[in-house]
Amino acid sequence: MSGREAAPSIFVPDTDTPATLDTRRDGTRTVMALSGRVDTAAAADLWSPLVKAAREAGAEGVIDLRAVSALDTTGATLLLTAAALGPGIEGAAPGVTAVLDRVRDALAAPRPKPAVALPFLARVGRGAIGLLSNTTDAMAFLGEMLATLVLTVLRPTRLRWREVLRFLDEAGLRAFPLTILLGSLLGVILAFQSAIPLRRFGGEIFVPSLVGISLMRELGPLMAGVILAGRTGSAYAAELGTMTVNEEVAALRVMGMDPMAILVLPRVLAGLLVMPVLALLLTLSGLVGMTLIMGMLGFPLVTVTTQLSAWLSLTDLFGGLFKAAVFGLAIATIGCRAGLSAGRGPRAVGDAATSAVVGGIVAIVVLDGLFAVAFERLGI
């Protein structure tokens, strides 16, 4: 193409001499003479000296480019930054001038408008409005989900059972090893820690009831909830978040299919069904761990079981399992909502997963508090 050969500016052989700066007085003028190849590496070295010299010289200075063999855009940025402090530029070859002109245009473009900081009161107001609309959205989501749940209970054939089974497998069966590990270690630790103070009063015999009640009523559902939030809530958020970012959810909606029924319900149902199982498994593994420690302390199995059957009731068991089911519902719902309300970009998926785990854990702790009050009032 004609004209190309006139601009051998950016592509220069490495054998070309690297740039040097020579500042000298010439009468009243300060001449800053550059020579060689003013490329990115040279610009980095010459940046401070040239800017300093240009500032001192001001309008009396002149940047002499006669000996410059090549210029890249970083070099041109340096020259123009220095020239903006007062000195003129002279002696540039045509190829060098072409780059200089191009970068001058680029730098002349308007800068981005600085972000306007809102006054404090307005920030508080905006925050409050955001919180309110977020709460409204959450309520709407919950309502829509419960409505879909009721509709599905009325017409169970509508539910995609194959999906539910897949999620039951992912959230349940595959979480069993972790649950068993966590539960048995929890039982061991609890038994050990409580045996030490109880021994002072000769009350080691009460360790099984203490560990049994705390596992069955509180720790079983809670720890299973933490497992579900970490393993499954985050996975739901990431999966649905990616689908949202890729507009798959929008595609479903436009094809006249309800994302709530197709995507959310099978997951939430799986969370609801799987949690009592996980809580029970965790409690049982904990009791096994505790029994092991009791054996080490010299109490036979029969003592432990007698103690447990004397202190634990079915109410404790079902209360705990009911709590677990509610936790599962909450964690799965929060995970799905975090995914479906994801923003744009890869970061949105990460944010959704984080908010699913944090939201899930906060929710189960708050719910646990409410349950404690309710159970106390009901005398359970």
Partner 1 sequence: MTAPDASAETVVTATALSARFGTNTLFQDVSFTVRRGEVFVILGGSGCGKSTLLKMMIGLVPPAAGKVAVLGTDVWSADAPARLALLKRIGVMWQQGALFGSQTLQENIEMPLAEHTTLTREARAEVARAKLGLVGLSEAANRLPSEVSGGMLKRAGIARALALDPPLLFLDEPSAGLDPITSAGLDALIQDLAKSLGSTFVVVTHELASILAIGDRCIMLDKAAQGMIAEGDPRELRDTATHPTVRAFFRREAA
Applying the rule CB under 8 A, the residues between 6 and 35 that interact with partner 1 are 7-12
Is 112 among the residues that bind partner 1 (CB under 8 A)? yes
Structure tokens at 211: 């560990």
Is 109 among the residues that bind partner 1 (CB under 8 A)? yes
Cβ proximity to partner 1: between 48 and 157 the closer is 48
3-state secondary structure of 61: strand
- Of positions 19, 32, 33, 43, contacts partner 1 by CB under 8 A: 43
User: CA torsion sign, 133 to 134 to 138 to 139?
Assistant: negative
Nearest approach in angstroms of CB 230 to partner 1 is: 23
Nearest approach in angstroms of CB 120 to partner 1 is: 23
- What mask of x and - would describe binding to partner 1 in positions 162 to 201, judged by CB under 8 A? ----------------------------------------
Q: Using the 8-state DSSP alphabet, how is residue 22 labeled?
A: E
Is 113 among the residues that bind partner 1 (CB under 8 A)? yes
Nearest approach in angstroms of CB 46 to partner 1 is: 10
Question: What amino acid is encoded at 150 in this protein?
Answer: V
Structure tokens at 11: 């592509």
Is 244 among the residues that bind partner 1 (CB under 8 A)? no
Nearest approach in angstroms of CB 93 to partner 1 is: 12
Nearest approach in angstroms of CB 164 to partner 1 is: 34
Question: What amino acid is encoded at 204 in this protein?
Answer: E
Q: Which residues contact 166 (CB under 8 A, 6 or more apart)?
A: 266
Is 377 among the residues that bind partner 1 (CB under 8 A)? no
3-state secondary structure of 69: strand
Question: What amino acid is encoded at 83 in this protein?
Answer: A
Nearest approach in angstroms of CB 125 to partner 1 is: 23
Structure tokens at 114: 């600085």
Please tell me the count of residues contacting partner 1 according to CB under 8 A: 50
Q: What is the CA radius of gyration of the chain?
A: 35
Is 117 among the residues that bind partner 1 (CB under 8 A)? no
- What mask of x and - would describe binding to partner 1 in positions 200 to 239, judged by CB under 8 A? ----------------------------------------
Question: What amino acid is encoded at 77 in this protein?
Answer: T
Is 98 among the residues that bind partner 1 (CB under 8 A)? yes
Question: What amino acid is encoded at 214 in this protein?
Answer: S
Q: Are 49 and 75 in contact (CB under 8 A)?
A: no
Q: Are 129 and 102 in contact (CB under 8 A)?
A: no
Is 111 among the residues that bind partner 1 (CB under 8 A)? yes
With CB under 8 A as the contact rule, which of the stretches 19-27, 28-36, 76-84, 141-149 interacts with partner 1? 76-84
Q: Which of 312, 274, 317, 321 has its CA nearest to residue 179?
A: 274
With CB under 8 A as the contact rule, which of the stretches 106-114, 183-191, 279-287, 368-376 interacts with partner 1? 106-114
Angle at 198 between CA 195 and CA 202, to 5 degrees: 115
Nearest approach in angstroms of CB 190 to partner 1 is: 42
Cβ proximity to partner 1: between 102 and 166 the closer is 102
Q: Which residues contact 356 (CB under 8 A, 6 or more apart)?
A: 229, 233, 234, 236, 237, 334, 335, 338, 339
Applying the rule CB under 8 A, the residues between 289 and 348 that interact with partner 1 are 343-348
Residue 146, φ and ψ in degrees, nearest 5: -65, -40
Contact set with partner 1 (CB under 8 A): 1-5, 7-12, 39-41, 43-45, 47-48, 72-78, 80-81, 95, 98-99, 101-103, 105-113, 115, 343-348
